[in-house]
Structure formats: C-alpha cells, structure tokens
Structure 1
Amino acid sequence: MMKPRLTIFDEPLLYTEGLSRLLDQSQIFNSIEICNCPEALALLLKDDPPEFLMISSNMLILTDLYRSIENITSDNKAIKIIIIGNDYDVIDIRKLFNKGIKSYLDKNSRYDEFMKSIQALLLNEIYICDYAKDRMINFISSEQDHHKIHIKDPLTKREVEILKLICDGLSSKDISEKLFISINTVETHRKRILLKLNVKNSVGVVKYAIENHIID
C-alpha cells in the first residue's frame, strides 16, 4: 500500500519544521510539505492535492475555516483534513465535522495524540482529541440535566390552564377575571411558569407550548 502525503498549513516555521522532522521519523508519510500562506496551499491543492491536510487555527478565523473546508472537500472528496483548533466551542467542532473534516485536535493536544489521529484516519475512522471529547460529554450531560429540570418540576394543572390563556394573548387582568382569582395570584403563577420553563417572557411560553403540543 502506497504511503500518503501530508501537507501542513501552519506557522511559525520553527514549529512546523520540527513537526515535519518528527513525522519523517515515523515513516508513515511518503512526503511532508509545509505551506505558510493561503496562495501556496491553493496552488498545491489545485495541482497535486495530498491525501492528508493539517490546518491550524493560526491561519484562518473560524468563518474562513468553514468556507475553506467546504471548498477543499467539494473539489477533493478523498482528502482527509485534520484541524488544530484553538479551544473551539462544541457546536463549532460539530460544524467542522459537518463541513467535512476527519480529525479535530486542540492546541493543547500532545504529539502522541496527533499520531493516534493519523492512525485513525489511515483506518478511515474519524478522530476527536480527548480534550474536545470531554467537553462534548459535559455539554451533552448538562443539556440532559437541563431537560431533567422540566421532568422533575412539571407544570401544575392550574399552571397549564394559565399557560394556555397566556398563549391566547390574555393579560393578567383578563386571566384573573376569567378564573375568578386575584391578579396577584395570576402574577405568581406567571413567575412560576417562566421559572419552570426557563424562559424570559410570554414569547418563550408560547414557543414552549407549541413545541410540546400544549397548543396547536
């Protein structure tokens, strides 16, 4: 099996040259090329695209990075892109994978983890560094905890009744007259509803009611 070629799109030269020498010793790649400017990378991708491309967040801001990955993967479907991110958000990392990257490492990832990611890509797998993986797990579990709050603390029958009237556009005064309760009681119920649903205003209440099929 022929060894793949790697292009490193990063700066400074001192770091990239050191990395390429280390990788040379691993004998995984047929050749390792360094690009320090977008023009050189564009030319290389047009004339002779490598199988592996490592892009550092030093080189492009996130919005430009999305665009570049889209352009690269649309022209070179087989290219395996590794991103070295800068403490990116979980949502941003997910978006990068959706755009077509195969591996995400963070600036604090070590060389052995870089090698693990290379091995994963050689097996046609994707790779996410431990640092980003831990943050993803925390993100998912905090989302689940957020949903548990609603299950643990559901709306009472009266609160559902008032929620529906809020969705109908009734004011606290209208609701108090309709249900024969004081305005203060209605306001207390309103506050509890906002708190339980974790929303800021009536718009959030309506959105919740529609999403949960409480109203049509």
Structure 2
Amino acid sequence: MKPRLTIFDEPLLYTEGLSKLLEQSEIFASIQICNCPQALSILLSEDPPEYLMISSNMWVLTDICKYVEKITQKNKNIKIIIIGNNYDVIDIRRLFNKGIKSYLDKNSTYDEFLKSIQALLLNEIYICDHAKNRMINFISKDQNQEKLHIKDPLTRREMEILKLICDGLSSKDISEKLFISINTVETHRKRILLKLNVKNSVGVVKYAIENHIID
C-alpha cells in the first residue's frame, strides 16, 4: 500500500506545485497540504500520515525540534522530512536525535527530494548533499592542525554535559534534564571550554568527534 504525505509549508503556490509534481510520480496514495499549525495538529491527532514534510518557513528551529519530539513520541511510525535553512552540523544532528528521518536544505532540488523519499521507502535515513559537504568540512576543518589536548581530565558530570551539548541542547534544556540550575550548567560549560582549549560549542563537538566520544 502506498504511503500518504502531508506537506506543512507555505506559500500555497509552492506547496500546490510540489503536490502536483509528486502526484505525477505516483509514489504516494494521497498528498495533503497544511498551512497552519492548528490544521496540522488536528490531522496528526485524527488521521496521521506515514510521511510528514516540515519546512523551516513555518517555525524557528527550536520549535521544530520540540514539535518533532512531540510527534515521534506519539507516533513513531511517521517519517519526518525537514526542509531546513542551511542548518549547521550541530542543529542537523539535534534534529535526527529528535526523530527526523530526512534532512534537505532549501536549495535542494526536486530530484534530490525524490531521492530522499526513495531512501525512506527503504527504511534508510537521508541527508542532502549540501549538508553532507558541510559535515565533511566540519570534521576535516583544520585537520592539518595539531589535535586538541585536554589540559585537565573532564569530570563525570562535565562529560555528561559535553554529550548533551553535542546533542544540541541549550543550557536551559540541560538544566531541566539534569535537574540542576542554569548557572551550574553555565559554570560547567566554561570549565569544559577551558579544559578542551576551545572557544565555543562547535569546538566541543569537533573534539568529541575526533576523540570518538560521539559518532
């Protein structure tokens, strides 16, 4: 049986055009368009589709992450495709951790969109070529430079917070997850940056990848 797709995006001219193209591909049994959060919420509660495409036009990244997590908690069978606004590596990783199955940038072509659908039909995940290149550059950046060295070993708590930083969690998210104050989280963040000799969260993730702390 063919799956159903819901497109959550605007403007209407774009979504209707994409819908017409996808109808010609005959991949989906039906294609529905939602242009407001209320209509999407009703649809997901009453008759959730197998595939859901969410555009960054509709929400800011933080809201997308929260909504994806909410959807996947209620229905793990929905395969979510995010059309992002050239999100960085950390944000893309965070979206996959929340439960999406495919990530495309706004500059992705229709052919690449079809490639992502084919991957999902095979129960695979998909990341567009543009985002893959950013990931490769992120990992290989400064590869000829000397690797980062820890000044002092990270404590157990600092290692725990480091992994949550790599998952894209904010200080507020970390404080709620670990039941500690935001000030305590910020103190740990500063100590981690100092020990790793890095300037920001990007440096933390780079260190974690290079040292196989995260995949």
TM-score computed with the length of structure 2 as normaliser: 0.69
The within-5 A match list for 1:111-130 is 111-130=110-129
Residues of 1 paired with 2:9 and 2:134: CA distance?
Answer: 25
Greater relative contact order, per chain length (Cα 8 Å cut-off, separation 6+): 2
Give the conservation status (yes or no) of the 8 Å contact 2:148–2:196.
Answer: no
Q: What is the alpha-carbon root mean square deviation over aligned residues?
A: 2.2
Q: How many residues align?
A: 158
* Selected match of 1:207 from 166, 188, 195: 195
Q: Deviations over 1:7-45 (max 9, x none)?
A: 000000000000000000000000000000000000000
User: Counterpart of 1:105 in 2: which secondary structure?
Assistant: strand
Q: CA deviation at 1:204?
A: 7.8
Number of the residue aligned with 2:9? 10
- Would you say 1:30 and 2:18 are equivalent positions? no
Q: Can you give the 5+ residue segments of structure 1 that lack an aligned partner in the other structure? A: 152-162, 165-202, 210-216
Q: Tell me the distance in 1 between the aligned counterparts of 2:196 and 2:5.
A: 49
Point out the structure with max Rg over C-alpha.
1
Q: Distance in 1 between matches of 2:120 and 2:45?
A: 22
Aligned to 1:89: 88
TM-score normalised over the length of structure 1: 0.69
Match of 1:132 in 2: 131
Residue aligning to 1:98: 97
Quickly say closer, same or farther: Cα 1:27–1:144, change in 2 above 3 A.
same
Bigger fraction of residues in helix: 1
Question: 2:55, 2:112 → 1: CA distance?
Answer: 16
CA distance in 1, matches of 2:140, 2:122: 30
AA of the residue aligned to 1:207: K
- The runs of 5 or more residues in structure 2 that have no matched partner are 153-190, 198-215
**C-alpha separation in 1, matches of 2:53 and 2:23:** 15
Aligned partners of 1:64 and 1:53: how far apart in 2? Answer: 16
Shift of 1:142: 1.4
For residues 23-72 of structure 1, the C-alpha deviation after alignment (integer angstroms, 9 at most, x for no partner) is 00000000000000000000000000000000000000011001000000
> Structure 1 residues 65 and 204, CA, compared in 2 at 3 Å: closer, same or farther?
closer
How big is the shift at 1:207? 2.2
